[in-house]
């Protein structure tokens, strides 16, 4: 039987992913296919790449090109105070409990370009916890980690960020946290002085520390159930007893085997607590 256009594309995409794994070590086998295929098609269209053959040559022949490709297919879209009610709940329900520890460790897994990280740091600062908190900010993509370190975000989103900040219980003037300059916002670098930026691949790397809180939001939606299961086990190993796990608004632990060890600390904001 002759393959139709879509089947042919899917076959070529699978071959490319296989080669990418061999050559660069990035494993996309556990990524949800519909979304992955759509990203590849978008990358091809946006960059006017005439064929999958040429895409393969470029991706495998040019590591700089590969970095851009990686960035597109791993979806780095993020914002500050995404779902303000999540941050409000962290502030009201989670940070007061964390404050009983002498020293707090947090993992922001899949932190992308840092908007979520800076939102979290602002909360910690306002609750008086920043100085005794260490945050590990990780992502599979080194390029976004470099951006996260800089803390420079486009000013075009400032209205949404400002209202998100207040909706999440912000206590100061939001503008006191950044300097505005030529269309960019440069956030106060002291917010991330206790942050370690670290490349970590949730699909292949292992647990590296123990945490009181892990945030992993809008990353798991790109993974199949099987890969999600791996990641949940990894988080389970990396959380102290009574530690918290914050997921994205439409993500759930309910389908996982570790679910029985967790309670919903805040159902609508998908904040889970490990039982002891």
Partner 1 sequence: MVAFQKVVLVGGSWGGIQASLRILEKLPATYPFPIVLVLHRLRNAEGNLKRIFEKRLQLGVQEVEDKMPLQPGQVYLAPANYHVLLEKDGTFSLDVSDLENYSRPSIDVTFTSAADAYKAKLVGVLLSGASKDGSAGLKYIHDKGGVALVQDPSEAEVSTMPEAAMKLIPGCRVATLDKIQEFLLWIT
Ligand X SMILES: C[S@@+](CC[C@H](N)C(=O)[O-])C[C@H]1O[C@@H](n2cnc3c(N)ncnc32)[C@H](O)[C@@H]1O
Question: Which chain residues interact with ligand X by CB under 6 A?
Answer: 74-78, 82, 110, 112, 116, 139-141, 144, 201-203, 217-219, 222, 248
Q: Binding partner 1 by CB under 8 A: which of 12, 21, 35, 97?
A: 35
Q: Does 1 bind partner 1 (CB under 8 A)?
A: no
- Cβ contact 32:223 at 8 Å: yes
User: What is the nearest approach in angstroms of ligand X to the Cβ of residue 131?
Assistant: 24
The two structure tokens encoding residue 228: 């999600």
User: Residue 34 touches which of ligand X, partner 1, none (CB < 5 to 8 A by kind)?
Assistant: partner 1
- Secondary structure percentages of the chain, helix, strand, coil, to 5: 50, 20, 30
H/E element holding 88? helix 84-89
Could you give the dihedral angle defined by the CA atoms of residues 185, 134, 83 and 112, in that order, rounded to the nearest 10 degrees? 60
Is the dihedral angle over the CA atoms 123, 232, 85, 175 positive or is it negative?
positive
Q: Tell me how many residues contact partner 1 (CB under 8 A).
A: 23
Q: Report the phi/psi class of residue 56: left, alpha or beta, with left for phi > 0 and alpha for psi in -120 to 50.
A: alpha
Q: Does 29 bind partner 1 (CB under 8 A)?
A: no
**Residue 116 binding partner per list partner 1, ligand X, none, with a CB distance cut-off of 5 to 8 Å that depends on partner kind:** ligand X
Which of 8/42 has CB closer to ligand X?
Answer: 42
- Rule CB under 8 A: which residues touch partner 1? 6, 32-35, 37-39, 75, 77, 83, 218, 220-222, 225, 228, 248-252, 255
């Amino acid at each position: 039987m002759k393959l139709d256009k879509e089947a042919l594309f899917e076959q070529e995409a699978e071959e490319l992913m296989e080669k990418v794994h061999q050559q660069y070590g990035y494993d996309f086998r556990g990524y949800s296919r519909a979304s992955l295929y759509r990203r590849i098609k978008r990358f091809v269209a946006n960059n006017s790449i005439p064929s999958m053959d040429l895409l393969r040559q470029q991706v495998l022949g040019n590591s700089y090109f590969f970095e851009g490709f990686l960035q597109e297919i791993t979806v780095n879209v993020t914002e500050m105070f995404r779902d303000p009610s999540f941050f409000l709940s962290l502030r009201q329900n989670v940070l007061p409990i964390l404050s009983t520890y002498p020293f707090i460790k947090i993992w922001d897994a899949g932190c992308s370009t840092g908007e979520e990280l800076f939102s979290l740091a602002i909360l910690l600062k306002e609750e008086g916890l920043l100085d005794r908190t260490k945050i590990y900010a990780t992502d599979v993509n080194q390029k976004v980690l470099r951006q996260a370190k800089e803390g420079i975000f486009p000013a075009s989103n400032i209205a949404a960020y400002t209202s998100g900040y207040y909706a999440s219980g912000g206590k100061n003037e939001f503008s006191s946290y950044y300097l505005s300059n030529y269309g960019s916002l440069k956030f106060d670098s002291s917010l991330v002085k206790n942050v370690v930026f670290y490349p970590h691949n949730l699909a292949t790397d292992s647990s590296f520390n123990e945490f009181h809180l892990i945030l992993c939001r809008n990353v798991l939606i790109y993974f199949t159930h099987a890969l999600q299961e791996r990641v949940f086990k990894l988080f389970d190993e990396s959380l102290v007893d009574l530690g918290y796990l914050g997921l994205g608004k439409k993500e759930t632990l309910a389908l996982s085997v570790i679910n029985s060890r967790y309670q919903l600390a805040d159902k609508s904001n998908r904040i889970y607590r490990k039982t002891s």
